[in-house]
Amino acid sequence: MGIKRLIVLIPILFLVLIPITKADSDITGDNSSAINRVRKIAFVSKRNGNFEIYTINEDGTGLKRLTSNKNDDIKPQWSPDGKRIMYLSKKGKEFAIRVMNNDGSGQVEVARNCASDYPPSWSPDGAKILFVAKSKNKNIICTVDADGSNLTRLSENDTEGSYPSWSPDGRKILYLEKYRKEDYLYLMNPDGTKRLKTTREGGTYKAPAWSPDGSKIAYLSTKRTLLGTYNQLIVMNQDGSNIIELANASKKVEDIDYNDNLNWSPDGAMIAFTKVAEVEGKVSEKGSVMFTYTYGAYLVAVDGNDYDRLLAKTGTQPILPDWSPDGRKVAIVANSKLIIYDLKTRLEDEIRTNVAIPLTPARWSPNGDKLLFAGKNHSFQKAGLYLVTLDGKVIKLSEANDYDPVWAPK
């Protein structure tokens, strides 16, 4: 796959983690000169009993709790302009969408009875929120203005909707519609008009995603053949033409759903995706077969003229690779290391993180100079946030039951 370069952190005695500025009793360390420009990070923390939304500067300063209630507040998302944060608030078994200013002020509930399996998303202009709601045990697609007004149901009465997403220009909505146990991919205007079915046949589909320029759509399709059942990565034009079967994803061994997923490169030329790389079966003392799965991170060219390439094995969890903003590199966190693959030079850097259990993908900063992820070393350790610089420094931002870090936009 290319030449491997291992970045060795020296001196050896200090190879573990470089701590940084103390923000409160949960964050320890000294100031790091590796960080010059300070950006904000939103994250979820359980440090005070239940899940709440916090922000912190990338240098470890400015820790601030934004929400404070008896609900579990999770899945923060910055608005496109960075001035507001949307999140899910769980009370009992119900989820609501809430929006607040980036300093925690102006908190408002904009929608209730949301389906947590499909996180809500901001429109590109930040004016509306697209989400899946629960109604009479059905998933329906809705939009609402960011201030909670103009709640609009988009799904038709006899169907269910899932995986909704805005086109990059905000002029179309892509979604899956289930009708009589079959999935179909559809496009529609943001007001629900001009519906267009883009898949000719029904099937079992998941994870549809727009290309960065909005001209193509990628998705996973479950295929059943004489050789078995497997997921297949497919790309087509926005209108459903020019269908290309790019690669096979996970093959079913047991009756379970694999968490395969995909991520377009910024230029739309390649797709990074996850699938099961290895399956190992062992017979127990009672004679039953137990399977263990090892996931992998892969790359494939969208034109269909190349085989998919295994970048790294990520262990028992699928960890989706993340593209650098310029599209030249892709990063995967796995097995106590961060792997950065350069597509132009075909060089692969391995940075030892000493974080054995990654809980999120490694996410590039907006200007591509750092990566951020959540993880821990063993199941009994509190989860923390880790920052990695491209020269190999691993900086522990926190370790106080902290999860799901998200960079503020530029």
Write the pLDDT tens digit of every residue in 42-77: 999 999 989 999 999 999 999 999 999 999 999 999
Residue 364: how many other CB atoms lie within 10 Å:
21
The confidence score (pLDDT) of residue 13 equals: 34
pLDDT band of residue 251 (cuts 50, 70, 90) is: confident
Element (H, E) at 176: strand 173-179
The confidence score (pLDDT) of residue 256 equals: 54
Query: Reduced to 3 DSSP states, what percent helix, strand and coil does the chain have, rounded to the nearest 5?
Result: 0, 50, 50
Q: Give residue-wise pLDDT tens across range 4-40.
A: 444 443 333 333 334 443 333 333 333 444 445 689 9
Q: Is a pLDDT exceeding 60 seen at residue 266?
A: yes
The confidence score (pLDDT) of residue 87 equals: 98
pLDDT band of residue 317 (cuts 50, 70, 90) is: confident
**Beta strands across the sheet bearing 128-135:** 121-122, 128-135, 138-145, 152-153
The confidence score (pLDDT) of residue 179 equals: 85
CB of 205 closer than 8 Å to CB of 199 = yes
The residues near 308 (Cβ < 8 Å, ≥ 6 apart) are: 233, 246, 247, 248, 273, 298, 299, 300
Average pLDDT over residues 383-401: 95
Instruction: Report the range of poorest mean pLDDT among 12-26, 51-65, 90-104, 236-250.
Output: 12-26
Say how far apart CA 391 and CA 386 lie, in whole Å: 15
Tell me what percent of the residues of the chain surpass a pLDDT of 70.
88
The confidence score (pLDDT) of residue 126 equals: 98
CB of 312 closer than 8 Å to CB of 293 = no
The confidence score (pLDDT) of residue 27 equals: 33
Say how far apart CA 353 and CA 374 lie, in whole Å: 11
Average pLDDT over residues 335-345: 92
Pairing of strands 84-91, 94-101: antiparallel
Average pLDDT, the chain: 87
Q: Which of 247, 259, 257, 181 is nearest to 218 (CA)?
A: 247
Q: Is a pLDDT exceeding 90 seen at residue 157?
A: no
Q: How many residues would you count in the chain?
A: 410
Q: In sequence order, what are the beta bridge partners of 114?
A: 133
pLDDT band of residue 128 (cuts 50, 70, 90) is: very high
The confidence score (pLDDT) of residue 329 equals: 97
Q: Give residue-wise pLDDT tens across range 224-235.
A: 776 667 788 999
Give me the amino acid identity at 20: I
Q: Is a pLDDT exceeding 70 seen at residue 341?
A: yes
Give the HSE-up count for residue 76: Cα atoms under 13 Å, Cβ half-sphere.
32
The confidence score (pLDDT) of residue 305 equals: 80
Element (H, E) at 314: strand 309-315
CB of 206 closer than 8 Å to CB of 223 = no
3-state secondary structure 181-203: CEEEEEEECCCCCCCEECCCCCE
Average pLDDT over residues 160-183: 94
Element (H, E) at 152: strand 152-153
Q: Is a pLDDT exceeding 60 seen at residue 180?
A: yes
Q: Is a pLDDT exceeding 70 seen at residue 285?
A: yes
Tracing tokens 């008009």 back to the chain, one arrives at 193
Q: Is a pLDDT exceeding 80 seen at residue 115?
A: yes
For 383, which DSSP code? P
The confidence score (pLDDT) of residue 307 equals: 77
Q: Is a pLDDT exceeding 90 seen at residue 255?
A: no
Average pLDDT over residues 274-282: 85
What the block records as the tokens of 245 is 């079967």
Residue 334: how many other CB atoms lie within 10 Å:
23
- What's phi and psi for 48, nearest 5 deg? -120, 25
The confidence score (pLDDT) of residue 257 equals: 58
The confidence score (pLDDT) of residue 351 equals: 95
Please confirm whether the linkage preceding 318 is cis (ω < 30° from 0): no
